[in-house]
Amino acid sequence: QVHPVESGGGLVQSGGSLRLSCAASKSVDNLKGMGWYRQAPGKERELVATITSGGRINYADSVKDRFTISRDNATNTLYLQMNNLKPEDTAVYYCNVEISLDFYRFNRYWGQGTQVTVSS
């Protein structure tokens, strides 16, 4: 139903910036929220930032004040502006879309991921 597609990853030096994009969905109907997650080799997937359909935003402490999540409602595109990147930010970054099924349940959809590599 929903097929998020990420783009914008790449190789940057420490202190550099990248802007990730996610073509998240064709419709905002029943959209609960969207978010960015990342997974480094040998690590569990972790939350980076989320934004609800109402615009409420949460960030992981590790990226607070460096990353900015935003959404373009006109194009249903999710963004992650990543500034002052650090080597520990190196990971595959995934776009997540949550669609409500009813008041209590929702489905989560994941993109294929985009690689972000930060060199020291």
Return the residue matching tokens 């409420």: 56
Whether the per-residue pLDDT at 92 is higher than 80: the answer is: yes
pLDDT at 73: 81
d(CA 42, CA 23): 27
Q: Is the Cβ–Cβ distance between 100 and 8 less than 8 Å? A: no
Report the percentage of the chain scoring pLDDT > 90: 75
Tokens of 56: 């409420």
In the predicted model, what is the mean pLDDT of the chain? 93
pLDDT at residue number 26: 60
Alpha-carbon radius of gyration of the chain? 14
Convert the pLDDT of each residue in 22-81 to its tens digit: 997 666 678 889 999 999 999 999 999 999 988 999 999 999 999 999 998 888 899 999
pLDDT given at position 74: 81
Structure tokens at 72: 């373009």
Separation CA 36–CA 116 (nearest Å): 13
Confidence bin at 93 (pLDDT 50/70/90): very high
Q: What is the model's pLDDT at position 49?
A: 98
